[in-house]
């Protein structure tokens, strides 16, 4: 089976803050998992000293997916890329409790806004991470610092999905690398999925009804 590389977003993708439920689609709301007696809600105090709870999304689906990725970690790669400032330790604890996958989340790289500013699109972040982990040969992406052109760019191009002219800003390197056909960004943000598609990264929308079948097909059959 082909090696695959997965990049998962967090907020409104794997879980949601109980104070942000209005951000979810109807499909996502129907797949919240609080657990019996709210056992799966992770409670914490945020930086404004407000008590909040994180609720897992698609708990059964994600449990199966992460268990499989844990068992096949020598053949597949998993990363967390988030706009949030949650610490990697806290993220590991939350995901372990929500999806009951012991020891897996402590072994995967987690990139938060302290590592990549949120002004940089997820597509650009994923490309840079791929370069840092040796999946892209381009020296620009293998450099410890982001290519200067995109170091503060919000996205490579805002109107990519409209098929309008991209112009001269498109980076010429790394875009057609074969590995990108097997690299997936799972993110609720159209903006970030759009930026991933710009580079040839496969974008998966977790807000749609077909998300469970699409993710299982990618994980187990492609």
Does the predicted TM-score (pTM) go above 0.75? yes
Q: Judging by beta carbons within 10 Å of its beta carbon (0-12, 13-18, 19+), is residue 8 exposed, middle or buried?
A: buried
For residues 156 and 171, the answer to whether their CB atoms sit within 8 Å is yes
Compute CA distances 79 → 66, 112, 194, whole Å. 11, 11, 19
**Mean pLDDT on 89-94:** 93
The tokens describing 105, both together, are 């989340």
- Tally of CA atoms within 13 A in the half-sphere of 15 that contains its CB: 27
Q: What is the mean pLDDT of the chain?
A: 83
Domains of the chain: 5-14+58-220 (3.40.50)
Does the pLDDT value for residue 89 go beyond 90?
yes
pLDDT in tens, 142-173: 888 776 545 444 444 444 343 333 333 444 44
Reported confidence tier of residue 77, pLDDT bands at 50, 70, 90: very high
For residues 34 and 40, the answer to whether their CB atoms sit within 8 Å is yes
pLDDT in tens, 13-39: 999 998 899 999 999 999 998 766 565
For residues 75 and 33, the answer to whether their CB atoms sit within 8 Å is no
The tokens describing 27, both together, are 């499909």
Length of the chain, please?
222
Least confident of 95-109, 143-157, 196-210: 143-157
Least confident of 47-51, 99-103, 192-196: 47-51
């Amino acid at each position: 089976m082909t090696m695959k590389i997965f990049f998962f977003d967090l907020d409104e993708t794997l879980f949601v803050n109980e104070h942000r439920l209005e951000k979810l689609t109807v499909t996502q709301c129907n797949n919240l998992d609080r657990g019996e007696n709210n056992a799966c809600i992770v409670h914490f105090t945020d930086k404004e000293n407000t008590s909040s709870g994180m609720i897992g999304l698609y708990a059964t689906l994600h449990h199966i997916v992460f268990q499989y990725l844990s068992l096949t970690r020598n053949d597949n790669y998993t990363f967390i890329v988030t706009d949030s400032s949650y610490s990697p330790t806290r993220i590991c604890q939350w995901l372990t409790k929500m999806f009951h996958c012991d020891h897996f989340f402590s072994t995967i790289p987690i990139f938060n806004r302290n590592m990549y500013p949120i002004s940089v699109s997820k597509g650009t972040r994923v490309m840079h991470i791929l370069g840092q982990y040796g999946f892209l040969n381009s020296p620009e992406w293998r450099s410890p610092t982001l290519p200067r052109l995109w170091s503060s760019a919000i996205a490579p191009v805002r109107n990519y999905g409209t098929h309008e002219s991209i112009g001269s800003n498109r980076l010429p390197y790394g875009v057609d690398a074969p590995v990108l056909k097997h690299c997936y960004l799972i993110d609720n943000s159209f903006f970030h999925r759009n930026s991933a598609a710009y580079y040839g990264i496969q974008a998966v929308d977790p807000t749609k009804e077909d998300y469970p079948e699409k993710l299982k097909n990618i994980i187990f059959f492609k």
